Structure 1
Amino acid sequence: MPFEIKWMIKRMVGWSILSADCIPNSCIINIYNERDCIPPHIDHHDFVRHFCKVSFMSKSNILFGKEIDVIDPGEFRGSVEIPLPVCSVLILKGNGTDLAKHCIPEVRHRRVFVTFRRMDNNKMPYRFQPDLELEGLRLYEL
């Protein structure tokens, strides 16, 4: 992983945002242009629960629901809508990752989401080499 991504992971583990027993070993960087969206989905179960999303550049909302209705392209209706301010971190776990779908409605301004996840050890790609610098992380002692 690039230095900047590892730096973010180390900080979030050190500050107890991410737990040391679920260190991410993958990340997805979603770059949205104006009017882009992500349709309703549940993340694949090859990834260990919990995972987190870090939000950059502009505010937007994320919707959750067991069923999410598609109203128009990029417009959705779900049970719960959570605002995501710039530089916010959202931890997804429990029913929020296993039962509820989530989506990002059409964004009004350019936006970036970085999603950190850990792939289940039994689902690792052939010859995957863990990053030893990240695997040994622990919480900062205060």
Structure 2
Amino acid sequence: MLSFYSEPQKWMRGKGRITIQCGCCYNFTRDRLGNPPGILRYDEVDPLPFEIKKMIKRMVRWGILSADCIPNSCIINIYEEGDCIPPHIDHHDFVRSFCTVSFMSKSNILFGREIDIVRPGEFRGSVEIPLPVGSKGNGADLVKHCIPGVPHRRVSVTLRRMDDSKVPHGFQPDLEFEELRPY
């Protein structure tokens, strides 16, 4: 098995970012095979890496993540200067809440029922919140959110729990998380 890695063609400023997915492979849009957005149930990817599991355990023990919704998948986004994530609401194949941890550089996140695309990698929404290095935030269900073109290289790790009815065929739950509780 291999983690799912994707790197889009950089055909214009603000387009794409490198992604590494563990636990499940997630399709952001309808792909060229006709698969709709959501968890691809027949694709095999690596389970969560040791370092990510260690981070999850600490965050649950410290009460940052709920013991009722322990993540079993993650996506690592690697941004170069100008890369972005366009406006979206996260897919319901993942239960709420989930968490994104930001590394390497400060960035902003925009929220709004409507988010305007000003130009590639630039957006205008109702609320803009800075995400400093080391920040953690929960995903939203009611409004769209996006990451405008980042000013510097950035890495984020989004931790999510798959809906039990959507897990990939052959997925094995991590026994290390069975008895995990806050301190």
The number of residues matched between the two structures is 136
Q: Does 1:51 align with 2:79?
A: no
Question: Does the CA-based 8 Å contact 1:23-1:135 persist in structure 2?
Answer: no
Q: Which runs of 4 or more aligned residues in structure 1 lie more than 2 Å from their structure 2 counterparts after TM superposition?
A: none
**Larger helix fraction of residues:** 1
For residues 14 and 79 of structure 1, the distance between their equivalents in structure 2, rounded to whole angstroms, comes to: 34
For residues 66 and 101 of structure 2, the distance between their equivalents in structure 1, rounded to whole angstroms, comes to: 15
Q: Does 1:84 align with 2:127?
A: no
Cα deviation digits, residues 25-83 of structure 1 (max 9, x gap) = 00000000011001001111010000000000000100011110000110000011110
Q: TM-score, normalised by structure 1?
A: 0.93
For residues 136 and 108 of structure 1, the distance between their equivalents in structure 2, rounded to whole angstroms, comes to: 41
Q: Does 1:26 align with 2:69?
A: no
**TM-fit CA distance, 1:2:** 1.0
1:139 is aligned to 182
Question: Residue type matched to 2:180 in 1?
Answer: L
Asked which structure has the greater RCO (Cα within 8 Å, sep 6+), the reply is 1
Gaps of 5+ in 2: 1-47
For residues 162 and 49 of structure 2, the distance between their equivalents in structure 1, rounded to whole angstroms, comes to: 18
What is the CA RMSD across the aligned residues, in angstroms? 0.8
Q: Does 1:123 align with 2:170?
A: no
Residue identity (%): 77
